[in-house]
Chain A
């Protein structure tokens, strides 16, 4: 009987089928069959190795140098890191990034859960509303940023005009350091809400109906069955979405670059924008790379927490 060899198709071979071609394979042909899978994955692996994995090591390497992109590279050990940790700007930028992330994730998850519970039933109207809510998600961030920048204009913006009906004084959405970061949070939540809602809805609809029927027999009130059945059952999707939102919030760049340029008073400067500034405006490659390593650590921490929590607490149906 033929055993599955390297490079052979994964076949549960029926013993009765005799394949004469197999018996007369030359050495060269065998070799080709053995390396074939590697040849087939090679192009993709080269792309990943060259443009995703190698750059990470290169970035760590660069973070130990002083370099302005043109002149000599000078090895300075951990100087970039000590500079970074003693720079109050770095802590502000890190704080901004974390604040932005926490706000986006909490608001996004809470609102999309509400909206999903509201639009859960499969009716025509609900489907149309889902589609409308999804539209911003496929719209270019450039357009979204400009539209909101225009609506948030403190003198002629639509937002302040609407708020004036409720007697609210004009808000300097993008010019007030206390407000600007929240304005960027608002834009991000608006853009992602439809996507998150639809994912949660599809998770909700995958919950087996007999659970609700059992709850209905026990006369469980609706909010309670939502809290006791729906939430635990969809928790894997929610945790996955939370991680996706965390990572995408940590890499925010477009809104910052277009709407605020990190201002006013550095209040919306985030890690990625800061790396961009040091790399492409101040040409401090080593320091920018050290910031990159910091961003990598932050992303890594949250990814680890995610997998830790996932393996412990989240309900799985199989």
Chain B
């Protein structure tokens, strides 16, 4: 008995140790693959121009050049673009609430002629990417004289087929008895949505709002093609314009701009990782 007990740890251990060590090495490599680019962005943003052009590169900076950040503000109108980003994000969120909530409720709770077809069309629009139709939409807005207005940035994403789909699923799960009870109390449909449906669907609504915030905040393509002037351009377009300097790219200033762009999303992500990851995986599970 004793010999058997003694023997097994001795023969198992080396393999196990090697496996654990290998696993940790692999873990660290995976973490570094995703972490280093972000670290490199940050550390470059506090270097002098000379330090960025050193070979071998330095991974630590003894005197961080924080003044790179104010310099970004002198090169592009960060405050103005921040304001534009906030207006477009908030405007999109408000519009989506107005269009998505009633539509999701109607598709979930009413049986009406053509509902299947209309819902099918709604789902099919998810297959039409903005990158396919930007030119005709630009021409439409330019015909209406709405280029360089917030409307050209907000209206095309004023509704969301995906949000309608998600919210409809949630609304469908609310029990009919609850609604019947409310109807017996003479609650109107608006009141039912506002007082019963939305509070129950709160996690979904918050999730969808976060998804919209992140995608509108990060979006570069649409504001780039819909605007020709600085006045309504959002932060990503402004940061990208740091590239166009006369004397090549100053990567330290460039990276400082990128830190400014990335920080709000990273902060939101840090505090709500679980919800955000869950929200994005919803999109994939269908």
Q: Mark interface residues in B234-253 (1 if CB within 8 Å of A CB, else 0).
A: 00100110010000000100
Q: Is the CB of A55 within 8 A of B265?
A: no
Q: For residue A273, which residue of chain B has the nearest CB?
A: B131
Given contacts A43-B99, A59-B133, contact A125 B128 (CB under 8 A): no
Does residue B26 face the partner (Cβ distance < 8 Å to A)?
Answer: yes
Given A8-B111, A251-B132, A272-B131, A158-B40 contact (CB < 8 Å): yes
Q: From residue A190, how far is it (CB to closest CB) to chain B in Å?
A: 8
Q: Mark A118-137, 1 if CB is under 8 A from B, else 0.
A: 10000001000111111111
Beta-carbon contact of A7 and B254 below 8 Å = no
List residues of chain B with CB within 8 A of the CB of A240. 284, 286
Which secondary structure characterizes the binding site on chain B? helix
Q: Is B27 on the interface with A (CB-CB < 8 A)?
A: yes
B139 near A285: Cβ-Cβ < 8 Å: yes
Instruction: Confirm or deny: B200 has a beta carbon within 8 angstroms of a beta carbon on chain A.
Output: no
Q: Give chain B residues whose Cβ lies under 8 Å from the Cβ of A275.
A: 131, 134-135
Q: Which residues 7-48 of B sit at the A interface, judged by CB distance below 8 A?
A: 26-27, 30-31, 33-38, 40-41, 44
- B218 adjacent to A139 (CB under 8 Å): yes
What's the Cα separation between A270 and B160 when bound, in Å? 27
CA A155 – CA B102 in complex, angstroms?
56
* Given contact pairs A69-B139, A150-B255, A202-B285, A158 touches B113 in the complex (Cβ within 8 A): no
Selecting from A45-53, A175-183, A209-217, A225-233, the interface stretch reads A45-53
* Contact status A47-B30, CB under 8 Å: no
CB proximity of A317 to chain B, nearest CB, Å? 13
**CB pair B280 A137 closer than 8 Å:** yes
Contact code string A266-284 (vs B, CB < 8 Å = 1, else 0)? 0000001001100110000
Q: How far is the CA of A47 from the CA of B92 in the complex (A)?
A: 12
Q: Which of A76-84, A100-108, A141-149 binds B?
A: A141-149
CB pair A140 B218 closer than 8 Å: yes
Which B residues, 191 to 230, have Cβ-Cβ distances below 8 Å to chain A? 214, 217-218, 220-221, 224-225
Q: How large is the interface on A (under 10, 10 to 19, 20 to 34, 35 or more residues)?
A: 35 or more
Q: Which residues in B have their C-beta under 8 angstroms from that of A144?
A: 37
In the complex, the answer to whether B129 meets A147 with C-beta atoms within 8 Å is: no
Assess whether A295 is in contact with B27, with CB atoms less than 8 Å apart. Answer: no
Instruction: Flag if A43 contacts B159 (CB, 8 Å).
Output: yes
Q: Are B273 and A43 in contact, with the CB atoms below 8 A?
A: no
Partner of A140, one of B98, B135, B220: B220
Closest-CB distance, A177 to chain B (whole angstroms): 21
User: Across the interface, which residues of B come within 8 angstroms of A156, CB to CB?
Assistant: 52-55, 57
- Pairs of residues from A and B, 10 with the lowest C-beta to C-beta distance, nearest first: A40-B102, A251-B131, A199-B284, A140-B218, A47-B159, A55-B136, A40-B106, A55-B133, A44-B103, A37-B110
18 A–B contacts, CB within 8 A, in A order: A41-B118, A43-B99, A43-B103, A52-B133, A55-B140, A56-B128, A130-B277, A132-B31, A135-B266, A139-B218, A139-B262, A141-B220, A146-B240, A146-B258, A156-B57, A203-B285, A251-B130, A276-B134
